[in-house]
Chain A
Amino acid sequence: MELLVQLLVAGTLVGSIYALVALGWALIYKSSGVLNLAMGELTLIGAYVCLTFYNWGIPFPLAILGSLIIGGVLGLLVERLVLRPLIGEPILTVIMVTVGLSFLFKGLVGLIWGTDTQVFTPPVFPAEPIRVGPITISPVFLGGFVAALLLLVAFTWFFQRTRWGLAMQATADDQMAALSLGVSAKLVYAIAWAIAFMAAGVGGIFLGIINGLNVSVSFLGLLVLPAVVLGGLNSVPGAIVGGVLIGILQNLAGGYLDPLIPGGIKEVFPLAFMAVVLLFKPYGLWGWQKIERV
């Protein structure tokens, strides 16, 4: 029982980070229909930028802010240079261009920062775990959870209260109607990419602090795909719930299945689960059922 609660708590905390990255993914898909496979590399870039700032002696919250700004600028650039000329192209073209981006980013990150695992020194969070009754929580997970929560609240506020956020909602809901009412689709796409870069970056920072920062963080970034599939591709709340659920499932698999089937089940389980979801519930929990079926 204790193990179960422990796994549930840890899963929720990690899952909130996945939820943040998944939010960025779902936003791009919902507003522009682009299926982004470069999400893992976006998390890498954000994490490395933050690490660099931190190494310069900038306090951690400011370093996060800096990586948010740089992520936003990169997002705008990528959208303008690469994605915008391909609006309306077939699905293979758009997916493969994001694959091209992911290779490009991976190469650039390797060239600039190397492949060795790097850690934030001095440690950002105390190593001493927090004890709540029988459960122990590592402060890093808690910090990630709080940061993810803050950003999720900020983004929700942005979507519901600001002019640009409302324009994005309108575009996602009905592109043609939004365009005819004077919403600029270009602006919406650009903001979506900027937000995706920011969200993925923050997710990457905390994943990097938890596991140490190297290329494998980009694999964790790929776990957003099971999350968004579970939530339904075009549902932003679904992506958040899906992210948390995938975090929990992953930890449960690590805790209970690993002794039975040893070796890396924790990494593969979300992807296997995704294949099953696609087979039985292709539109996820809250996705539009008009998703194309055979």
Chain B
Amino acid sequence: MFRLPAGTYFQTYQQAHRFWPTRFMTLRMIGLLAVLFVAVPLVANNYVLSIANRIGYTILAAMGVQLLIGFTGQLTLGHAAFVAVGAYASAIFTLTAVENADIPFWGFLSQAGLAYPLSVVAACLLSGLWSVLFGLPSARVKGFGIILTTMAAQFITVNFIIAQYVSQIGGRGHYFSLPAGTVKIGPWALAGDRDAYFWMLILVVLVTAAMNNWKRTRPGRAWLAIRDNDIAAEVLGVNIVRYKLLAYFAAGILAGLAGSFWITSLFFVSPEHFEWSNSLWWVGVILIGGVGAVDGTIFGAIFLELMLVLVNSFSAANLDFLYFKDIAFGLAIILFLLYEPNGLAYRWWQIKNYFYLWPFSYK
């Protein structure tokens, strides 16, 4: 929990339960949103925007991992599988609508620009269900067992089902590409980094708000209880299996969102985008950011993606970049776990508290 600035007291529960409890916080967050929505697109060029999009994609994907690991305590190392399901579901749905434009139903969808929004919904549901399927063993095992099941999910889904079978649908060959102008939300065609940036911001803001609010709802409290002590939670009447599966479903929905955003920022999907290393990468994001902290997910994503940019600018040859990327990521995880195990979110919390309590910081 945050500390309040010196001299601020709440008199009603309503005040204490507000999303942004103090006026300063509200102003700060509105200011941040204004910068992100207005100032950044005005100044930034396409390169910066594309980096921002990568950061946004990492945030979206890692939020699902954060929900499973940070909120519910279910270790997952196969999140890329669910993101892949989302991306492929969305791409196939959108492409079907475009290619069958002479059939009235699909034609209407692609004319009205409903194909992509509907595909997002379908992708979320599908990856949610797929995630629940592989979450089922969590009813029987925990800890290492769950890690292995999610790992199996990764290899079965991406390396086998998607690479061998789904990629063959429609005879498009190894990867699906979406022609320009196919991805439309109503009249708004997502045609480049700038459009994808706004769509990314909307999604990230929604997901961040949802994650923060989930913590305050009944399922969220149940998840936190399961994470902290599952036996105690069960004794208190929390239906463990139901809430665990709900967590998998919610994480799957977030993965579906991430996947359907991915196709707008790159316009094609390939099984190579969803390797096991991506799953590990996202777990690394939440470790570096801080396990259980929603803002930590964002810090971790920014840290790792900027680290990539840095590594990229140092290494000249293209192949070397891959090795340096692996080395940098491995070192980052090891060093963070050894020297900053609470992550960047904890550091940020300390900095905030220093200023809130100043000049009376007695701790």
Contact = CB atoms under 8 A, between A and B. Distances in A.
Interface of A: 35, 37, 82, 85-86, 89, 91-93, 95-97, 99-108, 110-111, 115, 225, 229, 233, 262-265, 267-268, 271-272, 274-275, 278-279, 282, 292-294
Contacts of B332: 100
22 contacts: A35-B144, A96-B283, A96-B337, A97-B334, A97-B338, A99-B77, A99-B280, A103-B326, A104-B334, A107-B323, A107-B325, A107-B326, A107-B330, A229-B148, A268-B155, A272-B156, A275-B134, A275-B149, A278-B141, A278-B149, A279-B149, A294-B230
Contact of B319 (A92, A100, A115, A292): A115
A214 to B, nearest CB: 14
Contacts of B66: none
B144 to A, nearest CB: 5
A275 B152 contact: yes
Nearest to B287: A96
Interface stretch (B109-117, B157-165, B174-182): B157-165
A102 B164 contact: no
Given A111-B320, A294-B142, A102 B330 contact: yes
B134 to A, nearest CB: 8
B202 interface: no
Given A262-B164, A272-B152, A282-B140, A110 B330 contact: no
Interface string B309-349: 00000000001101111111111111001100100000000
B293 interface: no
B249 to A, nearest CB: 18
B145 interface: yes
Contact of A103 (B69, B137, B319, B329): B329
A274 B167 CA distance: 25
Given A108-B327, A272-B152, A100 B334 contact: yes
Contacts of B291: 92
Given A264-B163, A274-B152, A275-B137, 20 more contacts: A86-B337, A86-B338, A92-B69, A96-B283, A96-B284, A100-B284, A100-B337, A104-B327, A107-B324, A108-B323, A111-B327, A263-B165, A264-B159, A272-B152, A275-B148, A279-B136, A292-B143, A293-B140, A294-B139, A294-B142
Contacts of A272: 152, 156
B337 A93 contact: yes
A30 B126 CA distance: 39
Contacts of B152: 271-272, 274-275
Contacts of B147: 35, 95
A191 to B, nearest CB: 22
Contact of B145 (A100, A267, A282): A282
Nearest to A280: B140
Contacts of A225: 148, 151
Contacts of A101: 330, 334
A282 B148 CA distance: 11
A268 B137 CA distance: 18
Contacts of B134: 275
B280 A279 contact: no
A89 B331 CA distance: 19
* Most chain A beta carbons < 10 A, residue from B69, B277, B326: B326
A104 B328 CA distance: 7
A82 B341 CA distance: 13
A64 B160 CA distance: 35
B55 interface: no
